[in-house]
Amino acid sequence: MEFDHPSWSNNTNIYEVNVRQYTPEGTFQAFGKHIPRLKDMGVEVLWFMPITPISIKDRKGTLGSYYAVQNYTDVNPEFGTLKDFIDLVKYAHHLGFKIIIDWVANHTGNDNVWIKEYPDFFCYNESGQIIHPNGWEDVSKLNYENEQMQVAMIDAMKFWVDTCDIDGFRCDMAHLVPLEFWKKGVRELRKTKSDLFWLAECEEANYHEVFDATYTWKWMHKTEMFCKKQADLKSLKELLMQYDLLFYKDAFRVYFTSNHDENSWNGTEYEKYGDAAKVLAVFSCTWNGIPMIYSGQELPNYKRLQFFDKDEIEWKQEYELHNFYKTLLHLRKTSAALRGGDINTVTAKIKTNHDDKIFVFTRKNGNDEVLVILNFSAEKILLDFFMDNLN
């Protein structure tokens, strides 16, 4: 990796904030009332889905996609004002949180302010029409061969660091943007704030040359196959071994059981994983990586949230999984053995007499060692450990 990880990120966690669906008001101010609760739960990084205005042209649904950006340096009025967001960041910082925002660099909305001002910032087909990438008819593809566009994109990112003092970016579909741009952008942005955190929504190992963290999409899909009895536990362990071979030892990999895309389009974690949802949440918080939690998972939330329309989370008086996540996040924070991306931590899988149902591993850093036993069956099982067969 070209840059060192921010020191604060070594054993952190991420909570994804869907402002629109979080409260009846769907505003920054309304979300701010939940921050003390999230602090008590142990959340450290708040990742806000895009907070920029949403394009009207070709808008999907009544409110549109967060990811159809109309203006990179303004706030979606649905959520409040720029001052509201600045105040929210200050409040969160005061309580010890870090704030990262979603950044959509591959494409804009179809009436983005750049389209009229800088038409050469975009890609066109043979008919002279702007390209809508991946069949997404509400967005327009940016042209990364245009150096002026790259400068404008970096300047837009600087705006949020300079104006709001954010702590990093979650970069949407990062692999669709040239790696060389990200290298240039990160280099420039870290001149503005040296300890910015960079999360890429991709699983390309070479993107760790510049990004602190990447997604574990293959793990998510493989665990879903496992819970549908389309894969076995051995294949999950083999995938983790592949990760060890492909990625830098100090690379942060982000593990999760839900996010905005999965919840809205593919189902809640309970639809996908059933009773294994909590087991996989334990894995996310104890394996080598960074755990990520989506808005409402602490309820738990059994509802698919609409993506383009208002469809708020149905909060109850009692957050049934608050203490579940609080225990996991506290354990991860206080145990040196559970740090993600620490080259001094040794992770070892332990063989048992029920390797088809049970996943056992240890994580050790100095004198601190944690034993994790994950039972993917509905049975009570008497285990024998084969301690001489660590691998």
Architecture of the CATH domain 7-215+248-341: Alpha-Beta Barrel (3.20)
- The DSSP 8-state label assigned to residue 304 in this structure reads P
Question: How much is the pLDDT for 391?
Answer: 43
CA distance 173 to 311: 25
Which segments of the chain have a pLDDT < 50?
389-391
Question: How much is the pLDDT for 387?
Answer: 66
Amino acid at 339: R
Could you tell me which residues come within 8 angstroms of residue 6 by beta carbon, excluding any fewer than 6 positions away?
Answer: 167, 168, 195, 196, 197, 212
Question: How much is the pLDDT for 316?
Answer: 83
Other Cβ atoms less than 10 A from the Cβ of 382: the count is 6
Global confidence as pTM? 0.97
CATH 3.20.20.80 boundaries in the chain: 7-215+248-341
